[in-house]
Structure 1
Amino acid sequence: MPERVSVFKTYKLFIGGKFPRSESGRVYEVTDSKGTWLANAPLGSRKDARDAVVAARKAFPGWSGATAYNRGQILYRVAEMLQGRADQFAAEVADAEGLSRAKAAAVVDAAVDRWVWYAGWSDKVAQVAGSANPVAGPYFNLSVPEPTGVVAVLAPQDSSFLGLVSVVAPVVVTGNTAVVLAAESAPLPALSLAEVLATSDLPGGVVNVLSGRVAEVGPPLAGHQDVNAIDLAGAAGQRAAELEAAAAENLKRVLRPAGTDWTADPGPDRMLAFLETKTVWHPIGV
């Protein structure tokens, strides 16, 4: 019998619930830790970034207006699907980070557990971030958390899947929508995560995934007037400083890179970073 020809996987961007190629038509080579070619990833452009922001803004009213319980159930469903594709993610993480298959599988298990952990916060974060405030007058004074809006997320460069989950999940569980730029040298786990999100109950546009160069896609996201906040986990040094300066143009919230240990147990900080506080006064009935 003739030797079988392998069918290589085509990775695409994830924008508005669909899988377009980069509008530029460009791709770049993705290699493993030893330099062996793995796949071609789409090389996202400024236009792709703008399209992703439009999709995220369109999805924001529906997602932020959903009940916390509903958001939690949708995110739990994503975790179920991640668990079902654990072997695929383990292979991609092993290639991306130079880990043994056993260690990569442990990383994937930790990422699924972390997604579940954040999903569990969906109907609890309001109790942590909200309050009933004492006032001198016949009023109820209540402070409640609300999502910031569209959040640009530069995924960590040193943790292709666990770090990715650690920055994406806290953004969306609180009702924000996200435009995610995958790790530049290891984008495949993020692009595969997009396939899971597309076939889950997550509405299109809530999470949009781009791959490409931080130097090319980062500035248009940081400077975009319709992006409300940016997580600079995947930027460093002078690049992070430049993006922070660009973000100041429309007073974006900025979460600065902090050398995070992605294997450490998380706290609520990343959720609280992208929440606003709305305070309401209401007369006390007589």
Structure 2
Amino acid sequence: MSENNGRLAVRKTYKLFVGGAFPRSESGRSYAVRSAKGVFLANAALASRKDARDAVVAARKAFPGWSGATAYNRGQILYRVAEMLEGRRAQFAAELVDADGVSARKAGELVDAAVDRLVWYAGWSDKIAAVHGSANPVAGPYFNLSTPEPSGVVAVVAPPMGPLLGLVSVIAPVIVSGNTCVVVASERAPLPAITLAEVLATSDLPGGVVNILTGRAAELAPWLAGHMDVNGIDLTGCPEELAVACERDAAENLKRVFRPDPGEDWLATPGTARLRAFLETKTVWHPVGI
């Protein structure tokens, strides 16, 4: 109860983000989220396997439109997301102070880094094809052109540390290249992911391009790895034993698997490895006109 006027505060209800909407977990489960100092912060939805399946359906439905959009359009949408994230800088910074126990100044710097990371990847949207595509020399009267294309639906296990910068760093390269994704947020600190979902929902990003689940990676990741309609999986947030199990499950339908160095520095300049991880190369032959 507020000490100023005696009114009750409106408590925020933390939900999932699937298909552009905010459903509760179908199981009705939740779990307690605590700060770095052990203070109770909120109850977050504990996503189930059914929620994961629903998220995959939403991501698949969004894929044709998103992959068919121009690279310029995808880049502009990421710029818009960065713009809106910066507009909520204070809220994100406060959540990072709670989640990581850092100073307000450090938290602000991490939010700024997340905004800059989105802008960095947005700038790659119309350059990926030029850098990773090619015109190939062939012995004959043909043009031979190789062009990168998105793989499809990508499952992403977000890192447990870096609940905002790390999250943005794994989502942005997946979607800027035309993929859609299902993200398992940091179980330890999911609140920045939920706030990011609110940013995405009110930006120009089509519903279903990014779907965010809160809950246990150990419960959700194996099912996403084995899901036959998921085309790739990023195991960034998986511990060693879980990552090995997910790689085994992913082999069943030849998923693309990205398993980075577990000590990845989120403040370092990202290279293009994540951009290339979920791209496929299409090569076209065409006769030379006379």
Give the equivalent residue in structure 2 for 1:265: 269
1:236: Cα distance to partner? Answer: 1.3
* One-letter amino acid matched to 1:148: S
1:35: Cα distance to partner? Answer: 0.5
TM-score by length of 1: 0.98
Give the equivalent residue in structure 1 for 2:48: 45
Give the secondary-structure state (helix, strand or coil) at the position aligned to 1:34.
coil
Rounded Cα–Cα distance in structure 1 between residues aligned with 2:101 and 2:185: 18
Rounded Cα–Cα distance in structure 2 between residues aligned with 1:2 and 1:188: 28
Cα pair 1:234 1:257 within 8 Å, conserved: no
* One-letter amino acid matched to 1:263: L
Q: Percent identity?
A: 72
* One-letter amino acid matched to 1:273: A
1:124 aligns with 2:119: no
Give the secondary-structure state (helix, strand or coil) at the position aligned to 1:212.
coil
Match for residue 281 of structure 1 among 269, 273, 285:
285
Rounded Cα–Cα distance in structure 2 between residues aligned with 1:119 and 1:262: 17
1:136: Cα distance to partner? Answer: 0.4
TM-score by length of 2: 0.97
1:92 aligns with 2:95: yes
Give the secondary-structure state (helix, strand or coil) at the position aligned to 1:168.
helix
Match for residue 68 of structure 1 among 48, 66, 71:
71
Match for residue 253 of structure 2 among 228, 236, 250:
250
1:2: Cα distance to partner? Answer: 5.4
* One-letter amino acid matched to 1:141: N
Rounded Cα–Cα distance in structure 2 between residues aligned with 1:102 and 1:269: 30
* One-letter amino acid matched to 1:274: F
Rounded Cα–Cα distance in structure 2 between residues aligned with 1:212 and 1:204: 21
Give the equivalent residue in structure 1 for 2:207: 204
* One-letter amino acid matched to 1:275: L
Aligned pairs for 1:167-206 within 5 A: 167-206=170-209
Rounded Cα–Cα distance in structure 1 between residues aligned with 2:12 and 2:176: 30
* One-letter amino acid matched to 1:165: V
Rounded Cα–Cα distance in structure 1 between residues aligned with 2:7 and 2:218: 40
Rounded Cα–Cα distance in structure 1 between residues aligned with 2:223 and 2:242: 13
Cα pair 1:236 1:257 within 8 Å, conserved: no
CA 1:138–1:2: 2 relative to 1, 3 Å: closer
1:177: Cα distance to partner? Answer: 0.1
Match for residue 241 of structure 1 among 232, 240, 244:
244
Cα pair 1:110 1:162 within 8 Å, conserved: yes
Give the equivalent residue in structure 1 for 2:160: 157
Give the equivalent residue in structure 1 for 2:82: 79
Rounded Cα–Cα distance in structure 2 between residues aligned with 1:21 and 1:77: 27
Cα pair 1:153 1:168 within 8 Å, conserved: yes
Give the number of equivalent residue pairs: 286
The superposition leaves residues 43-97 of structure 1 with CA deviations (integer Å, 9 ceiling, x where unpaired) of 0000000000000000000000000011111111111100100110111111111
Rounded Cα–Cα distance in structure 2 between residues aligned with 1:8 and 1:245: 42
Rounded Cα–Cα distance in structure 1 between residues aligned with 2:194 and 2:252: 30
Rounded Cα–Cα distance in structure 2 between residues aligned with 1:244 and 1:191: 27
RMSD between aligned residues: 0.9
Rounded Cα–Cα distance in structure 1 between residues aligned with 2:58 and 2:5: 46
Rounded Cα–Cα distance in structure 2 between residues aligned with 1:257 and 1:42: 28
Give the secondary-structure state (helix, strand or coil) at the position aligned to 1:276.
strand
Return 5+ residue gaps in structure 2 as ranges.
Answer: none
* One-letter amino acid matched to 1:64: S
1:270: Cα distance to partner? Answer: 0.2
* One-letter amino acid matched to 1:136: A
